[in-house]
Amino acid sequence: MRSRFGRVMILLGAAVVISVFWLTVLPTAGQQAPPARQSAPFPPYKAPRLNGHPDLNGLWQAFVTANIDLQDHEAQSGPHPEVLGAYGGWPAGQSIVEGGEIPYKPEALAKKKQNLQNRMKVDVSNDKTWHDLGDPEFKCYMPGLPRATYMPFPFQIVQGTSPYILMAYEFATATRTIRMDWNGEAPTDTWMGWSRGRWEGETLVVDVTGQREESWFDRAGDYHSDALHVVERFTPASPYHMMYEATIEDPKVFTRPWKISFPLYRRMERNVQALEYKCVPWTEELLYGKFKKPS
């Protein structure tokens, strides 16, 4: 640099760069550094209490597209674009599975692929093969857990002072009752399973067993057996969102337990409420049409 002015400018410029660098990286009084990595946790939050425990009451909804596919998926036209056009399209989404992929046993992966091929086929002409074909969601059957949590519909958590917490899902008015600090096992298998809960500090931990083996995890054919064991964790992260994690274990289908996680958001609209999504009437022609009296 020839001119003194030029040298000063360079020094000033460097000082600006350096001070900007330090201001953004160093925490200063009254400020918080932005997270250095994407996975840094949200600032610790302690939810208001109800009867001594975190209050999870409210209307909650997930905004991941995991119901389409738990793993990475591109946008697609969806079924029958020649009829539905862009109405029927399904959006893209990133995997909510930790590590990206579901660890299927090699022989179990074949069944997933078969499910995918058959997801929109139904045949209820024989009781014994009634559930063999078709995604349960397609038939307006119950989603089970954890799928109910990431269906594109809200659900209400009702937590009071009885030994039960209710989760009521807008999809097909599915409900499940979480029995708190409960000893008894599932007396039989059910579509929404047998949920037993306990508190671990700020987290509601729910152990779900006894689910009907016929439910699926998503529209991509991801499935499980009657050995499915799900452990969910609900942790409020702010007044407006809650982190949800579920660990899925099924030694008949997967090589090891695997985990999904995503935030749940509190629905904030004024006077918002869960509405009805009773889809049974929309599936009757599909399921039973071939048995009607020929005209």
Partner 1 sequence: MRTTLCAAVVSLGLLLAPGAKPLSAHHAFSSEFDAKRPVKFEGTVTKMAWINPHAWIYMDVMKADGTTEEWMVEAGTPNTLLRRGFTKASLMPGTKIRVDGYQSKDGALRVNGRDLTLPDGRTLFLGSGEPGAPPETPAKK
Partner 2 sequence: MFIAAAVIAVIPSALTSAQTGASGSSKPPETAQAQAPKAPAKAPAAKAATGKAWTPIKTPWGDPDLQGVWNDATSTPMQRPNGSTTDVLDDAESATQFEEKLAYDLSRDRRDGGPEVDVNRAYNEHWMDARRLKITSDRRTSLIVDPADGRMPPTVPLTPERQKTRAERAAAADRFNAGMPNVSTELSLPVRCIIRTDSPPYLPTIYNNNFQIFQSPGYVVIAPEMIHSARIIPMDGRPHLGKTLLQWLGDTRGHWEGTTLVLETSNFRTDDGVAYQGANPATYKITERFTRVAADSINYEFTITDPATWTKPWTAVIPWTKVDPGEQMYEYMCHEDNFDIVHLLTGARTREKNGEGKR
**What residue ranges bind partner 1 (CB under 8 A)?**
127, 163, 179-185, 187-189
Task: Tell me whether strands 175-180 and 194-200 are parallel, antiparallel or unpaired.
Answer: parallel
For the bound state, the minimum distance from the C-beta of residue 41 to partner 2, rounded and expressed in Å, comes to 28
Check residue 16 and report its DSSP letter: H
Chain-centroid distance of CA 176 in Å reads 16
Distance between CA 157 and CA 166 in Å, rounded? Answer: 6
For the bound state, the minimum distance from the C-beta of residue 128 to partner 1, rounded and expressed in Å, comes to 8
> Should residue 140 be labelled a site residue for partner 2 when binding is judged by CB under 8 A?
yes
Q: Which partner from the list partner 2, partner 1, none does 183 bind, CB cut-off 5 to 8 Å by kind?
A: partner 1
For the bound state, the minimum distance from the C-beta of residue 187 to partner 2, rounded and expressed in Å, comes to 8
List the structure tokens of 24.
């953004």
Alpha carbons within 13 A on the beta-carbon side of 224:
28
> Should residue 183 be labelled a site residue for partner 2 when binding is judged by CB under 8 A?
no
Which listed residue (95, 156, 238, 247) binds partner 2 by CB under 8 A? 156
Helix (H, G, I), strand (E, B) or coil at 169: strand
For the bound state, the minimum distance from the C-beta of residue 210 to partner 1, rounded and expressed in Å, comes to 9
Which listed residue (116, 158, 227, 231) binds partner 2 by CB under 8 A? 158
> 3-state secondary structure string, 32-77?
CCCCCCCCCCCCCCCCCEECCEECCCEEEEECCCCCCCCCCECCEC
Residues binding partner 2 (CB under 8 A) = 50-51, 57, 124-125, 127, 130, 136, 140-142, 156, 158-164, 166, 168, 173-177, 187, 190-192, 212, 214, 271, 273-276, 278, 280-281, 283-284, 287-288, 291-293
